[in-house]
Structure 1
Amino acid sequence: MIINSLLVGFGAAFGAYIRNFLTLISRKVKIDFPFMTMLINISGSFVLGYLTASVTDKKMLLFLGTGICGGFTTFGTFNMELSQLWFQRRFISCLIYFSLTYIFGILGFIIGIHI
């Protein structure tokens, strides 16, 4: 039980580090749309789908899937950015961000399973 928790914790820390690194890089490009969070969540969904279908070792799946993918993807940031678009009255951008993230996130997971 402790080993499993440590695997998830270390994986989550590494995933969050990667997400933060990519977010810092993306801030150098001035785009008024949360593309990086969307790409992180979609790619994380794809990788999680792939891992779910291909990794048979439970401990490795905890580290890679629950840990790294869980720390890498971010539902909280997605909701914060979605809310910011809403309160800025950028309703079309809000709808596009919501729709693309969910549609391509689900498709990414399904494609990952099938690869």
Structure 2
Amino acid sequence: MMSNVFLTLLIVGTGGGLGAVSRYGVSRWAAHYFPSWPYGTLFINLTGSFLLGWLAGAKVSGTALLLLGTGFAGGYTTFSTFKLETDALHSGGRDRAARLYLLLSYLLGFGAAFAGYLLGSVR
């Protein structure tokens, strides 16, 4: 019989792996079609915010929250890439684009999380 800690790590790791692979696929697709703007990361972080909001609104807990919230959303969303891309826009002399990216990411991220929460709260 597996210990609870090992089972928890397996659930979170499985979700995290699936999230990371999903992030990679979306990022590669977006970079191919939109090389001059970080649409992939923006889409990933907005949909991840929506997912976490939905999970909270639906009061998902236990194994499903570990798999989808901690694991998948944790592996799927990426704050570090968002910050790196913002810096790259700024360093490349695209200050207006960097500010727009920051604004869209934060405002739409909050909006997506709120929309997900509202949708998840519907019974």
TM-score range, shorter chain: over 0.9
Written as runs of structure 1 = structure 2, the 5 A alignment for 1:1-115 is 1-115=5-119
Deviation, structure 1 residue 55: 4.5
Identity in percent: 33
Deviation, structure 1 residue 54: 1.4
Greater shift in the superposed pair: 104-113 or 22-31: 22-31
CA distance in 1, matches of 2:34, 2:19: 24
Q: Match of 2:12, as an amino acid? A: V
Deviation, structure 1 residue 3: 1.5
Specify the SS of the correspondent of 2:37.
coil
Structure 2: any 5+ residue segments left out of the alignment? none
Paired residue total = 115
Q: Match of 2:24, as an amino acid? A: N
TM-score normalised by the chain length of structure 1: 0.93
TM-score normalised by the chain length of structure 2: 0.87
CA distance in 2, matches of 1:82, 1:53: 30
Specify the SS of the correspondent of 1:33.
coil
CA distance in 1, matches of 2:15, 2:37: 28
CA distance in 2, matches of 1:48, 1:59: 15
Deviation, structure 1 residue 29: 1.0
CA distance in 2, matches of 1:92, 1:27: 20
Instruction: Compute the RMSD of aligned alpha carbons.
Output: 1.2
Larger Rg: 2
